[in-house]
Amino acid sequence: MNSTNQSLKPLTTEINDNGHLVIGGCDLTELADKYGTPLYVLDEKTLRTICKEYKEAFSKYEKINFLYASKAMMNLSVAKIVASEGFGFDCVSDGELFTVKSAGVDMSKVLLNGNNKSVDELNMAIDYGVGHISVDNFFELSLLNELAAAKNKTVDVLLRITPGIECHTHEYIQTGHLDSKFGFDMTQIDEAISLICEQYKNLNLKGLHAHIGSQIFETNVYNDEIDILVKELARINEKYSLNLSELNIGGGIGVKYTEQDNPPSVFEFADVIVDSINKSVEKYGIEYPTIYIEPGRSIISTACVTLYTVGSSKQVPNATKYVAVNGGMADNPRPSLYQAEYSVQVANKADWTASEKVTVAGRYCESGDILVKDVKLPQVEEGDILCVFNTGAYNYSMSSNYNRVLKPAMVLVKNSQSAIIVKRETLEDLISHDVLTE
């Protein structure tokens, strides 16, 4: 069965009688007119559909919990929608914790994670009553125990470990390989457990946490990960007479940015994950663990597109034709950071045939600020609206004010209605944190 992460475009994408692209029943050219560009457009139906697909895909495993990885995209409305689908949240900062709390999320369904959480962030997590803190290193074990003791509280923790799995994704988004800044090395687990059992009385160890990478297409790496985690859980329980019963297997499931991308469906991922759990539970003789899965990209990516307005064009003699838009690396740093590829269409000429090969360039003062290289588009002119697909994950959340440019607005579309969910920044916002010295 197919799933939403295999779609290049939001599920509600259509072309109307004017030849304009439509998402969530809203004409994108009209949205650009009404709200200005660059504009993030988030389709609620696509977002809810993938959440439902995850739940259906894993319905054969009773003890499954979903935590949306907030780092992919977080704001109040996203938190509210995703929470209403029954998901909890993986947060990595005070900002993410504060946003989900402000959206009314049940904090017992939140996990705080990260390799260098501050004292304030750990205290905030304890005060908010988050369900779990994933402890990343020895320094944090001792610090968290001290902070919890000072509040006379016990905190449920997972040990973040590095299972030593290399997956075929960009080097910068691999996290589970051996020489990683994240988590305890497998050889350090015993020392961590001994410390918790003997000294850190305010930490209540529930299980293990790992994350092996992002934009993963191969399902077999989850096989390996689960085998390692279940084996380790069994070994620890036996050796320390514990009853650890929770495994957080991270996120990572890939999405389709271009026609060439072929990510497996969440149903295939779920089959591999559940089969692996069944096999390893039998192999290592433990009870079925409670599983947490933390998808970010595959939840939000497909649901969002970015609209830009075309400005200048430049034909380099005997070389590239550049079409420049009014956004780029500050609203989507992924092409310049990871050589990420995207698909693009002219929203107001969606029924025109592609006739020329162009490179869509951003407006920022860097040669590397290219959004889409060598793409065939209809004849593009100043004022045309370009729609870049699959920009939900790690675009808005990694956006910046580079070149002192304002961050775009975000609108939510549903049933032919649109509503602002993130306001466009203003020039006043931009200087509101500046302090002029004498």
Q: Quick check: helix, strand or coil at residue 15? A: strand
Residue 75 vs residues 82, 96, 189, 306: alpha-carbon distances, Å = 11, 8, 35, 16
Stretch that binds ligand LLP, among 99-107, 208-216, 281-289, 307-315 (CB under 6 A): 208-216
Side-chain-side CA neighbours of 412 within 13 Å: the count stands at: 18
> Could you tell me which residues are beta bridge partners of residue 360?
323, 372
Q: Is 69 in the site for ligand LLP (CB under 6 A)?
A: yes
Stretch that binds ligand LLP, among 17-25, 258-266, 293-301, 344-352 (CB under 6 A): 293-301
| Contact predicate 67/320, CB 8 Å | no
Give phi and psi for 339, each to the nearest 5: 55, 35
Stretch that binds ligand LLP, among 78-86, 101-109, 251-259, 279-287 (CB under 6 A): 251-259
Question: Which residue type does 46 have?
Answer: T
Q: How far apart are CA 21 and CA 27, in angstroms?
A: 6
Nearer to ligand LLP, 73 or 103 (CB): 73
Residues 111-130 touching ligand LLP, rule: CB under 6 A, are: 113
387 is catalytic: no
Please choose, from the candidates 28, 54, 53, the residue with its C-alpha nearest in 3D space to the C-alpha of residue 40: 28
Residue 324 vs residues 157, 237, 398, 428: alpha-carbon distances, Å = 49, 59, 21, 26
Binding to ligand LLP by CB under 6 A, coded x per residue (else -) over 133-172, reads: ----------------------------------------
Other Cβ atoms within 10 Å of 376 Cβ, number: 10
Residues 319-348 touching ligand LLP, rule: CB under 6 A, are: 334, 338
Q: Is 196 in the site for ligand LLP (CB under 6 A)?
A: no
Binding to ligand LLP by CB under 6 A, coded x per residue (else -) over 5-44, reads: ----------------------------------------
Question: Which residue type does 138 have?
Answer: F
Q: What is the CA radius of gyration of the chain?
A: 23
Residues near ligand LLP (CB under 6 A), total: 23
According to CB under 6 A, which one of 131, 295, 328, 362 is a site residue for ligand LLP?
Answer: 295
Nearer to ligand LLP, 181 or 201 (CB): 181
Q: Is 72 in the site for ligand LLP (CB under 6 A)?
A: yes
Token pair of 391 as six digits: 């920009």
Q: Is 264 in the site for ligand LLP (CB under 6 A)?
A: no
> Could you tell me which residues are beta bridge partners of residue 420?
411
Residues marked active site are found at 365
* Binding stretches for ligand LLP (CB under 6 A): 69, 71-72, 90, 113, 173, 175, 211, 214-215, 250-253, 294-298, 334, 338, 393-394
